[in-house]
Amino acid sequence: MIFDQPHIFIVFNPGSGGNFIAGLINELSNSTLTSLPISDIGSSHTVLRDKAEGTDYLSFGTMMEEHDCFLTEEARELFYIENIKANYSENCTPEIVWTHDFTNIHLYRKYFKNSNILVITNNTNDEKLTSLFMLAKKTILNKQLHLPMSQGMYEYIIARWKVLCLPHLLRLVSRADARKMLDDRFNSHYADILCYATVRMTMTFLNMLHLVENVPEQEILYDRVIYPMRFRFGDKLNSYIDDKCVLLPYGYLSKNNCNLLTEKISELLKRDLSGNEVNYINSSFETYRSAQNQLMLSNPVEYFFRLKEVVLNNNYDEN
């Protein structure tokens, strides 16, 4: 049965590279070891089972926004269980599943007793800030995005982004220019200013602005569950992580620590890796890491300052 299979669930904050790792583990689990597609901006999305159709029921939901589609958490749980039973055959195989929703971890434990869970953590401020840049560049401002959600959900998120990002653009340009930029977000000329405004918007929302600006320090809310539609914060993410989860610090990428990645994948798969598999991980990691902006990885605060300088020195009124 679907509930008896040793599925692998990958849980991570947006922008933290979980899709790349899902692709790696999928190749290792299927013994295929084919090269992962990695875009020019460092995106790698290969495990997207039915997410664009909104029918990836095995994940119990990918986005936190989906909570507001249900009156209660019990109704949400029942919806996914009924659809899993109806849409997955008896002759199923283990699957690689990912989500941004940390509250799903206890549901995986409840229904999939033989599953294993990898959690990518963002405990340092640099890990948090890098993920915000990655989210902005690879999702909101990425014309080539492989949609990991329904079209309706994506359109809602973009509409909300336009509203929340506008005040941060108005610090730099006129209202007319700001709206023009938001409506033409894939225009390469606007890439820097929109990335800067988007990250500043998110840092403001998460009480992180003091990391880059001279404002009073506040409790950083990145570490809490976020219900975006309600503009409400829930419990800390760590409260959903149990001692059986395999934890991978997102800093493995910035620190060029492929050995840690290999160790955690071996722990997740509960077996030793062959020499070919280790070489495959090393090669994939090198290709993926090389595709990222190196300053964004190593020093995201400095990257923010340089990006801000570029934006302030650009006369957008001339375009």
DSSP label of 206: T
Tokens representing residue 5 in the block: 């299979």
Give 10-residue mean pLDDT values along the chain (319 residues).
94 96 95 92 80 86 90 95 89 90 98 97 98 96 88 92 97 96 96 98 97 96 89 93 98 97 98 98 97 96 98 80
Whole-model pTM: value is 0.95
Position 228 scores a pLDDT of 81
CA distance 231 to 164: 12
CATH class of this structure's domain 2-124+236-292: alpha beta
For 226, the 3-state DSSP assignment is strand
Domain boundaries along the sequence of the chain: 2-124+236-292, 125-235+297-318
Tokens representing residue 137 in the block: 């560049």
CA distance 8 to 22: 9
Cβ-based neighbour number of residue 41 at 10 Å: 14
DSSP label of 207: T
CA distance 86 to 156: 28
Any idea how long the chain is? 319
β-sheet bridge partners, residue 117: 9
